[in-house]
Structure 1
């Protein structure tokens, strides 16, 4: 099935906007083949994690070809649901970008325990020539409106590129240049909430592009440390850096930045951040840092709460917050998905003093390898998870006499990922009630 067929579907697709931070009720705009139809109707979506179990719905995996070099490892590096919930965008190491559709029977209704597991195929595959630094959907993306169906990528030695989600073609590019007029790649990208501008982070500057004006026209703002990740909400911009700090900015309508302050707390470079739906909290994670820090942006001098996950890699490990603001979900290098429920574990208003690894409301051992990404469906009780990481060759196997190796020498290798157990897959899980 091709993505164009979504337009002809008689079932409505919903562009949901949160109206209550403490409930699962949404103000939905019905999308038909004739365009938007404002029904002003509130829809109740099924609750997340109500059965405290996860049911596997679909699976897609990648493997190295038989004759490929040992260093070529096509593991998944991130997955994100489209804003309309019809498909999932994922980045695969050494294999570009893949778009995978949600099976049509999961658009509505409940799921039975005996449902067969779907084997997913990519409907779009864009092969990239270099390392993909970051990617994101157009926030107003809707499959029934072709103009909005697109995503951005920023790639090593390449400009920011916008891709068409219907056929995988390149729509346009946004290019940033340094002081000697050399094109440089952005390290991280995001859209502003109103979808009118693109914010790109570089090693020394932030550049703001107008979505409707591709090319090299941009507004530039100097920063003191490289931008590793970005998060936006309303007129706020959070910039996570490799030097472990987070900078807060107020962004005006003209694209100028006013510094609010810096937040210190992580032990290494910040790799991922996300605002809560109410815009008052910010959650951040860093490389080789077992803590997720929850910040109140009104009192940002110290973390509001500390949550724990397994994080023994420099790789970016994504987490997600449910549209209702009730759940925080993250993976880890141990393959366990952890869930914090704001009603059972108040992760948003008090400092957690629990022992590391014992503070989550729910724990699901879903993967045998690193669970590097999770993404919550915008309007259905479905969770997408991705697994995989780079596996090094075990240095001990190259020794002539491994029994002569001292214990302290073995400890030196504890952070190297040379396990023979590799799992590179994208999986959809049902988190609601099961028939």
Structure 2
């Protein structure tokens, strides 16, 4: 090979373009690991959204220019210069960065999305907005209650073949819970029966014996069924109209034995049951065994509750989360996706029997056993308020919050109904309304829908209770005091 040919080959190699090098990961992704890698990928996706929104905004502008009326040539010259400058600035290429978006880019993305919602959808968005948004006004503080219905005959003439002889005729009512429409109420009592009340006709629609002590019930979100759990029985789904059993969800232990759920709840299409040391989750469409489990306490992160769960409630704004309380001082917020507790709070050593989230999900209210109602701030994981009330009963007590999220209704052990204003920011909140002598016995459960309230009366009484005198007077008190005062009542909130 001559020197001329070798020089020509070297010149051709130098003139050939070098292949483009593959894109490398950013330094932040290399240093921080998989977390930063995912964030950079997320930034690429947001950058592509910016490009898409910017191009759509340009198309909308071009359509507006085409549809604009004709103007004189003198007025076109400055407008043309302005539009060319704007197009040059908007047509500047925005490459997808290898890093998360900064504040300016995020604000630009948000601004472009707002412009698209205002200009792109146009009048259709304006027509849909008034129908889609539902404004809930804050409820006014009530002035009193008006009794509409009282059923005490359904809980008379009962004598249990078990337990103490002195309390065998005490058919007290455990709870009464309305559906979302306020047209029906499910009631459970000591005689192992659940009753469906029609609040429009003020009568018992159907009655079903569960075969065991009723522990908890929960209305299915559509209102067409109600879940019920009782001792040594699976979670059963009853049809609202007829009371027929249309589904059974088997909670099992490690030995494949049927166990009862102490509490039940529903999050979207998932049924949640609280068992010993763990939760079990089902798909509502499929009965049988549970699909997954979540342990109460996670030893790896020291989060979660211990003991036995007594109540669980789903988060109002984040369906993946649900809160739970139990027989110990711990309260937990769990995630279905992560499968463990994401937040833990500590309260009273007496334990809690019922819990409810506020309307925005920021606060968690829990009913203390034989005591007050405590308010916890989920952002700081600490107790912030105490709602004072008189409650000395020996079983579960349930309260309710009105749909506006301002008023909390509860009963007392002396037979009164108390109302609290949740807009009060004092550390100790006293009732803004107390209606005395609503019942002669304890009011363990209150359910509110609209201006209608359903409550139940009665409580478990032991032989050493002050209501029962000693020795010879026990038999007399059995028929005069213990067996009376058990009822279901419906009130109108004035």
Decide: shared fold, TM above 0.5: yes
TM-superposition CA deviations, 1:321-371 (whole Å, max 9, x none): 01000101111111111101234xx0xx4422x6xxxx1110011111000
Match of 1:140 among 208, 211, 222: 222
Residue 431 of structure 2: aligned partner: 360
Structure 2 counterpart of 1:55, from 143, 146, 150: 146
* Partner-residue secondary structure (3-state), 2:379: coil
CA 1:247–1:73 in structure 2 vs 1: closer, same or farther (change >3 Å)?
same
Q: Identify the residue that residue 385 of structure 2 maps to in structure 1.
A: 305
Does structure 2 conserve the Cα–Cα contact (< 8 Å) formed by 1:369 and 1:421?
A: no
Aligned to 2:442: 370
Query: Where do 5+ consecutive residues of structure 1 fail to align?
Result: 1-37, 105-119, 142-148, 403-417
Looking at structure 2, the residues matched to 394 and 249 of structure 1 have their Cα atoms a distance apart, in angstroms, of 40
Aligned to 2:257: 182
Preserved contact between residue 296 and residue 341 of structure 2 (Cα < 8 Å): no
Q: Determine which structure has the larger helix proportion and give its number.
A: 2
Tell me the distance in 1 between the aligned counterparts of 2:472 and 2:420: 47
Q: CA deviation at 1:427?
A: 1.1
Report the count of equivalent residues. 340
SS across alignment from 1:40: helix
SS in 2 for 1:130: coil
Q: Distance in 2 between matches of 1:390 and 1:82?
A: 26
Q: Deviations over 1:82-109 (max 9, x none)?
A: 11221111111114111111226xxxxx
- Give the alignment of 1:18-417 within 5 angstroms: 40=131, 52-61=143-152, 62-65=154-157, 70-103=167-200, 120-141=202-223, 149-192=224-267, 194=268, 196-224=269-297, 225=306, 226-233=308-315, 234=318, 235-252=320-337, 256-288=338-370, 290-300=371-381, 302-343=382-423, 346=424, 349-352=425-428, 359-365=430-436, 366-377=438-449, 380-393=450-463, 397-399=469-471
Q: Compute the RMSD of aligned alpha carbons.
A: 2.7
Alignment partner, residue 34 of structure 1: none
| Greater strand share, structure number | 1
Task: Give the SS at the match of 1:184.
Answer: coil
Larger C-alpha radius of gyration, 1 or 2? Answer: 2
User: 1:311 Cα shift?
Assistant: 1.7
Q: Which has the higher contact order (CA 8 A, sep 6+)?
A: 1
Is residue 265–residue 272 contact of structure 2 (8 Å, CA) maintained in 1? yes
Q: CA deviation at 1:258?
A: 3.5
Provide TM-score, normalisation by structure 1. 0.72
Q: Give secondary structure in 2 for the equivalent of 1:303.
A: strand
From 486, 489, 492, the equivalent of 1:424 is 486
With over 3 angstroms needed to count, the CA separation of the structure-2 counterparts of 1:303 and 1:150, relative to structure 1, is same
Equivalent-residue separation in structure 2 for 1:430 and 1:401 (angstroms): 39
Cα separation, 2, equivalents of 1:333 and 1:83: 27
TM-score between both structures, scaled by the size of structure 2: 0.64
Q: What are the superposed Cα offsets for residues 175-212 of structure 1, whole Å, 9 maximum, x if unpaired? A: 122112212111111000x2x00011111111110101
